[in-house]
Amino acid sequence: MLDFGQNSLIPSRAIAIDHAQGILGGLLEEGVGRFNHCSCFHSSEICSRIEGIGLDFNIQAGAEQFGSPGNDTLSGTEADDLIGGRVGDDDLLGNRGNDSLYGGQGLDILQGEAGNDYLSGDLDSDFLLGGEGADIFVLAPVPPLVFFGVDFILDFEPGADFIELAGGLTPESVFLESVALQPGTLDTLIWYTATDILLGVVSNVPAEQVIDRLIVSVLAATAAPTLATAVNLGPLTADLTVNGAIDDLNPQDIYRFDLTSASDLNLTLTGLGADADVVLVQDLNGNGAIEVTDFVDRSEEPGSLPESIAVSALPGGTYYVVVYQHQGNTLYTLNISALPNPESNPDIVVGQFDSQFGYGLVNGAGAIAAAVGLPVFGDVPDLGGDDWGRDLINAPEVWATGTTGIGVTVAVIDTGVDYTHPDLLSNIWINLGEIPGNGLDDDSNGFVDDVRGWDFVDRDNDPMDLNSHGTHVAGIIAAQRDGIGITGVAPNAQIMPIRVLDGEGFGKVSDAISAIQYAVQNGADVINLSLGGDGFLQAELDAIQWATQQGVVVVMAAGNESRSQPNFPARFASNVGLAVGSVTQTKALSSFSNQAGALVLDYVLAPGGDGGFSNAGDIYSTVPPAIAGVPYAAFAGTSMATPHVAGIATLIKQANPNLTASEIEQVIVGTASLSGLSLG
């Protein structure tokens, strides 16, 4: 599943509290932790779902059951059950026994009922009711900037229940606030301090009764373990299989291995009888401790599902594997294999790479000058105001030389684009091989009447933006320089609108792959991917590699989860394309931005805003007036940073059309700078 988690739609405190208040007002009786009636925020669907929960599907006692990609209703029995919703809006009922409930992606309702239950809403906004017993409710960082991914804990018992902080959260990284969301109640809001994002609401319980009930997941509880005692597996020259066990007395095992050359690594953890997870680590600073900035990749599947990690073109060096207990005791089988990758990127210069900032902040003027073999361009006056992002990457200096993106087409693969927006109208790509409205595929490209792009969500020729995200991205790339609104990085480039994300910002990887193919086959020079997800998919990598081989530069958002490494597809930049993180107006790494990570890859930084309370520090760009009521808005996110880099690639393409995609990538990386950067 893809989403535009890289979007800036981080609600302010006031908006977040307002939404939380609206939800509780509609779903809860005053002071009572149970569903009652619904507000318009989620419609009456939740009420009907809660009334019918557990009636559609029953699993066998003690079994594990995971739902389909659709909307599921799953119910346990009197034994200890493991129930997972996966994708979709799911209703999970534990019944009796000590049950583990995992919501997965979607708007889920989890009810533990009797027993000591473990409830993890996972992605999106979920509703958790523990029922009788000592229950554990899990909170983790909001996934890639879902607009409102707050979990509601509706029946917390301070003397019995706990809240587990997962995903790297600790009691020191969260802030608890008592707020009266409903008359006569005092509720607890749990904020992630680093990003000021609301993580959870504990209904009808004040903060002072919650603060002492916070616990930390096992990995965090065993923070900074030494690597000195790691079992040394030696050089990885063949498949290695290790059998082991973790339990309460030995919650983690650490293994060391060496790669003699760049390789494609595959790691699996199988044979699990309880929930164990795995992390691949490289000790970058050599201090012998496991730190989040050392994480190359991790796998955290729920329950006893197998774990897996796949990394393409992992550079040679020493690595560690940490197998750790999440819940319960279990045996395990660890398998590690690696195949040399002769196609790994030979242009990456490891010595200039920083695990937090990658190669640093892009420099448009420096990149275009390098691309045409000229000295650095002279300074020109900044645009100022809402165009600060273009100033920060020195775009005006490039325009002064006459390079504005003329003749270059950028495919925006996103939520669509408002092709009627006055700042974009004259810069929308037109398929001259099609005769509009005749119902024929005139150019025989397989798409009927695709005059201005294609909609892979609704399977039609209207890629109109029903969200705002794609239009915002398009404006950063190519809004006209007309003295109105904003000016894009390449104000005379053409935008090819391709819709793969729905009105909520979600879509299918298969559609993104089809969109990449469409863009290349129809003449795009640059592809902007301000979207992403967690999973490695070979077909997606193959599509991006193919696009690059055809001369198309692919630019990908790193993601907004404050992680130590990018999401996919940005993580493919170890092999192909460019990954983009976000900086603020003061060159500080945006607090939400995923960092470059231990794996060396073509990662650069560009203006993405700070995501704070004021719009002044965010990125101002075009949005559909029909949706927003205004033609411009300020967002923040790596989704906003990415089109700045796509715009630079566009300017290079005009300045020197003889460069290959890989050469353009290396010009951008080679002229980026770590100077003046800091952590947000």
Predicted confidence band of residue 56 (pLDDT cuts 50, 70, 90)? very low
**The pair of three-digit structure tokens given for residue 538, joined into one six-digit string:** 């070979």
Predicted confidence band of residue 237 (pLDDT cuts 50, 70, 90)? confident
Predicted confidence band of residue 37 (pLDDT cuts 50, 70, 90)? very low
Which listed residue (469, 472, 564, 621) is catalytic?
Answer: 469
pLDDT tens digits for range 262-313: 888 999 999 999 989 999 988 877 778 776 667 788 888 888 999 999 887 7
Average pLDDT, the chain: 83
Q: Which residue has the higher pLDDT, 250 or 272?
A: 272
Q: Are residues 228 and 196 in the same domain?
A: no
26 pLDDT exceeds 60? no
Instruction: Give the count of beta carbons closer than 10 Å to the beta carbon of residue 346.
Output: 8
Q: Are residues 228 and 212 in the same domain?
A: no
Whether residue 538 is contained in a domain is answered as: yes
Residues in the chain, overall count: 680
Which helix (H) or strand (E) is 669 found in, with range? helix 661-671
Which helix (H) or strand (E) is 93 found in, with range? strand 91-93
**The pair of three-digit structure tokens given for residue 565, joined into one six-digit string:** 């490494």
232, amino acid identity: N
Q: Are residues 405 and 326 in the same domain?
A: no
Sheet holding 307-314, edge to edge: 240-246, 330-340, 263-270, 307-314
277, amino acid identity: D
Return d(Cα 266, Cα 498) in angstroms, integer.
33
- Of 216, 233, 263, the domain-final residue: 216
Predicted confidence band of residue 67 (pLDDT cuts 50, 70, 90)? low
Q: Which residue has the higher pLDDT, 442 or 284?
A: 442
pLDDT tens digits for range 125-160: 788 888 888 888 988 876 443 445 788 999 999 888
Is residue 433 within 8 Å of residue 452, measured between CB atoms?
Answer: no
Q: Which residue has the higher pLDDT, 409 or 111?
A: 409
- Of 297, 318, 340, the domain-final residue: 340
Whether residue 443 is contained in a domain is answered as: yes
Predicted confidence band of residue 533 (pLDDT cuts 50, 70, 90)? confident
Q: Are residues 47 and 141 in the same domain?
A: yes
CATH code assigned at 306: 2.60.120.380
Is residue 257 within 8 Å of residue 230, measured between CB atoms?
Answer: no
Range of 58-72, 235-249, 549-563 with top mean pLDDT? 549-563
Using the 8-state DSSP alphabet, how is residue 61 labeled? T
pLDDT tens digits for range 364-387: 999 999 999 988 888 899 999 999
Q: Are residues 254 and 359 in the same domain?
A: no
Is residue 661 within 8 Å of residue 551, measured between CB atoms?
Answer: yes
Instruction: Give the count of beta carbons closer than 10 Å to the beta carbon of residue 318.
Output: 15
Q: Are residues 225 and 202 in the same domain?
A: no
Whether residue 11 is contained in a domain is answered as: no
Q: Which phi and psi angles does 144 have, rounded to 5°?
A: -20, 75
What average pLDDT does this structure show over 332-340? 94
Return d(Cα 396, Cα 379) in angstroms, integer.
8
Q: Which residue has the higher pLDDT, 299 or 628?
A: 299
Is residue 86 within 8 Å of residue 67, measured between CB atoms?
Answer: yes
Whether residue 3 is contained in a domain is answered as: no
Q: Are residues 191 and 314 in the same domain?
A: no
Q: Which residue has the tokens 């991917």?
A: 529
- Domain total for the chain? 3
Q: What is the DSSP string of 323-360?
A: EEEEES-EEEEEEEEEEE-TTS-TT--GGG-BTTTBT-
CATH code assigned at 550: 3.40.50.200
Q: Is 414 a catalytic residue?
A: yes
Sheet holding 231-235, edge to edge: 231-235, 252-259, 317-327, 275-281, 295-299
Predicted confidence band of residue 98 (pLDDT cuts 50, 70, 90)? confident
pLDDT tens digits for range 647-678: 999 999 999 999 999 999 999 999 999 999 99
Q: Is 297 a catalytic residue?
A: no
**The pair of three-digit structure tokens given for residue 514, joined into one six-digit string:** 């089809």
Q: Are residues 255 and 374 in the same domain?
A: no
Owning domain of residue 250: 221-340
Predicted confidence band of residue 680 (pLDDT cuts 50, 70, 90)? low
Q: Which residue has the higher pLDDT, 483 or 405?
A: 405
Q: Give the pLDDT confidence score for residue 302 in this predicted structure.
A: 84
Burial of 378 by CB count in 10 Å (0-12 exposed, 13-18 middle, 19+ buried)? exposed
Q: Which residue has the higher pLDDT, 361 or 70?
A: 361
Burial of 538 by CB count in 10 Å (0-12 exposed, 13-18 middle, 19+ buried)? exposed
Q: Are residues 303 and 162 in the same domain?
A: no
Q: CB neighbours of 107 closer than 8 A, spacing ≥ 6? A: 42, 46, 89, 124, 125, 126
The sign of the CA dihedral 488, 490, 495, 500 is negative
Whether residue 7 is contained in a domain is answered as: no
63 pLDDT exceeds 70? no
What average pLDDT does this structure show over 482-498? 96
CA dihedral in degrees (302, 106, 468, 445; nearest 10)? 80
Q: Give the pLDDT confidence score for residue 627 in this predicted structure.
A: 87
Flag the least confident range among 43-52, 101-110, 301-310, 550-559.
Answer: 43-52
Whether residue 260 is contained in a domain is answered as: yes
CATH code assigned at 151: 2.150.10
Predicted confidence band of residue 194 (pLDDT cuts 50, 70, 90)? confident
Whole-prediction pTM value?
0.63
Q: Give the pLDDT confidence score for residue 346 in this predicted structure.
A: 47
Is residue 299 within 8 Å of residue 309, measured between CB atoms?
Answer: yes
**The pair of three-digit structure tokens given for residue 519, joined into one six-digit string:** 């863009």
Is residue 15 within 8 Å of residue 544, measured between CB atoms?
Answer: no
**The pair of three-digit structure tokens given for residue 333, joined into one six-digit string:** 């089988």
% of the chain residues with pLDDT over 70: 82
Whether residue 10 is contained in a domain is answered as: no
Q: Are residues 325 and 451 in the same domain?
A: no
Which listed residue (90, 414, 455, 465) is catalytic?
Answer: 414
Return d(Cα 573, Cα 597) in angstroms, integer.
12
Which listed residue (203, 355, 562, 639) is catalytic?
Answer: 639
Q: Are residues 70 and 196 in the same domain?
A: yes
pLDDT tens digits for range 564-605: 889 899 999 988 999 999 999 999 999 889 999 888 899 999
Whether residue 1 is contained in a domain is answered as: no
Q: What is the DSSP string of 618-668?
A: SEEEE--HHHHSSSEEEE-SHHHHHHHHHHHHHHHHHH-TTS-HHHHHHHH
Q: Give the pLDDT confidence score for residue 11 in this predicted structure.
A: 46
What average pLDDT does this structure show over 74-87? 67
222 pLDDT exceeds 80? no
- Of 216, 236, 263, the domain-final residue: 216
Buried-exposed string 262-282: b where 16+ CB fall within 10 A, e elsewhere: bbbbbbbbeebebbbbbbbbb
> Residue 58's Cα: distance from chain center in Å?
34
Return d(Cα 100, Cα 406) in angstroms, integer.
57
Is residue 41 within 8 Å of residue 23, measured between CB atoms?
Answer: yes
Q: Which residue has the tokens 């290349």?
A: 520
Q: Is 639 a catalytic residue?
A: yes
Q: Give the pLDDT confidence score for residue 145 in this predicted structure.
A: 38
Q: Give the pLDDT confidence score for residue 5 in this predicted structure.
A: 42
Return d(Cα 458, Cα 380) in angstroms, integer.
45
Report H helices in 479-586: 509-521, 538-549
Return d(Cα 119, Cα 99) in angstroms, integer.
8
Phi-psi region of 121 (alpha: psi -120 to 50; beta: other; left: phi over 0): alpha
Q: Are residues 365 and 308 in the same domain?
A: no
Q: Give the pLDDT confidence score for residue 583 in this predicted structure.
A: 97
Q: CB neighbours of 114 closer than 8 A, spacing ≥ 6? A: 95, 96, 97, 131, 132, 133
9 pLDDT exceeds 70? no
